[in-house]
Amino acid sequence: METSKMIDLIDQLDSFKRYGKVARVIGLMIESRGPKSSIGELCYIYPGVKMDRRIPAEVVGFKDENILLMPFSPVTEISPGSIVESTSEPMTVKAGPELIGKVLNAFGEPMNMEGLPAGLTPVPSDPPPPNPMERPTIEEPMEVGVRVIDSLLTVGKGQRVGIFAGSGVGKSTLMGMIARNTNADINVIALVGERGREIKEFVDRDLGPRGLRNSIIVAATSDQPALMRLKAAYTATAIAEFFRDKGANVMFMMDSVTRVAMAQREIGLAVGEPPTTKGYTPSVFAILPKLLERTGTNKKGTITSFYTVLVDGDDMNEPIADTVRGILDGHIVLDRQLAHKGQFPAINVNKSISRVMNHIADSEHRKSASRLRELLTAYLEAEDLINIGAYKRGASPDIDLAVQYYPKILRFLKQETDEKITFENSISQLKELIGTGDF
């Protein structure tokens, strides 16, 4: 290295360490007198006199001359006077191909305590979204291996889609199917606010060895502090961005955006933000576009993303669902009634939409998908009359045709969780069904 460059690097080094002291702890928040720091900066709190252990925390606000810190771990050992050290930098994570097949925590560290492998690259956890004028348009379909999505809700490389459902309707199962069956180069999966037992269940059952071989999982359980749950979403997105910048087509999944919003609500209320719609603070609606806009296309690669949204009481118009639906490029609705009827995946085709399908599907594909939707709609509108025997054959040619096709359409919409169907097979089965009435 040239001497001038070395001198420049030395000049940039901060030779001072800045310290402060904990003044008080109020709920989730730690108030400290110093050190000098800025919003988003990573600090370390030393609970013991020996300073042999440290607790990471993030600067989330200020009060008078003091700084407000949110810790990444429980605060049971912190006392007045505990030393606070500033790093003068935001949190970074490390990414690389060596992480494939591993389950990580919010810091990007393996949860099995193995330690990080060598050769990883540090990346910022919260970079700005790509410049909208530098985003290539979405022109190619992305195979997800789920017939109803590939054929009727075709997803493009770099598209962002929401999966909206109540609890227990099959979100995790659908995510596992996509991770196992997609032709993406790599899967990055964020599990935010999950129950502790669900992490291993998802890895072993829903994802399986076949899916894990090509996946990186970032998990934060519901018992962890709000900041850990929030940072898990940022860390997973940063890892996905790393692979996109290497030219990969990344499949990114987050379960769930709702729990990310709840974590930010906890932080916002602790800082002193006023609660607004259903108790969510203004910062919740500020971070969601920033987080969701980070995925998609850039000049080097793509991140095709699926974000699950847990809707309270199956209310599709609750604040988070309404906000996320307005940001994303399409939505898939899982219907509890369809699940009760034994239709899996329980996707309500008539309530779901892909906003880029018309730009990436050929004319015959679009016409076949539209015709299937028309037949399905005609049957569902007359279903009550059909079930009670009030509908007389011949009263409507469209309903007559829909009744004839409905059993075949129902078989088309169903798929076993371990069944893999290629994109080409899904499209050919759709065209054959609409063209001949069978497949």
Burial 350-371 (b: 16+ CB within 10 A, else e): eebbbebbeebbeeebeebbee
* Burial class of residue 418 in the structure, from the number of CB atoms within 10 Å of its CB (0-12 exposed, 13-18 middle, 19+ buried): exposed
Q: Which residues of the chain have pLDDT under 50?
A: 437-439
Given 3.30.1490.110, 2.70.40.10, 3.30.1330.10, 1.20.1270.330, which CATH number is that of 364-434? 1.20.1270.330
Crossing angle, helix 423-436 and helix 363-381, to 10 degrees?
A: 60
Q: Which amino acid is at 29?
A: M
Structural contact between residues 134 and 299, judged by C-beta atoms closer than 8 angstroms: yes
Cross-strand partners of 384: none
Tell me the per-residue pLDDT of 160-207, one tens digit each, with 9 for 90 and over.
Answer: 999 999 888 889 899 999 999 999 999 999 999 988 888 999 999 888
Crossing angle, helix 282-292 and helix 226-245, to 10 degrees?
A: 20
Angle at 223 between CA 218 and CA 227, to 5 degrees: 60
Domains of the chain by residue range: 18-90, 93-358, 364-434
Question: For tokens 């935010």, what's the residue?
Answer: 192
User: Which pLDDT score, from 0 to 100, does residue 335 have?
Assistant: 92
User: Which pLDDT score, from 0 to 100, does residue 77 have?
Assistant: 79
Residues 129, 110: Cα–Cα separation, whole Å: 27
pTM: 0.90
Nearest to 182 by CA among 422, 415, 419: 422
Nearest to 431 by CA among 407, 412, 404: 412
Question: For tokens 């329980």, what's the residue?
Answer: 346
H or E segment to which residue 310 belongs:
strand 302-310
Alpha-helical runs (H) found in 293-332 = 319-327
What CATH number is given for 93-358 in this structure? Answer: 3.40.50.12240
Nearest to 107 by CA among 84, 123, 91: 91
Using the Cα atoms of residue 101, residue 239, residue 310 and residue 415 in order, give the sign of their dihedral.
negative
User: Which pLDDT score, from 0 to 100, does residue 388 have?
Assistant: 80
The class that CATH gives domain 18-90 is mainly beta
Residues 206, 52: Cα–Cα separation, whole Å: 41
Nearest to 259 by CA among 289, 293, 224, 286: 224
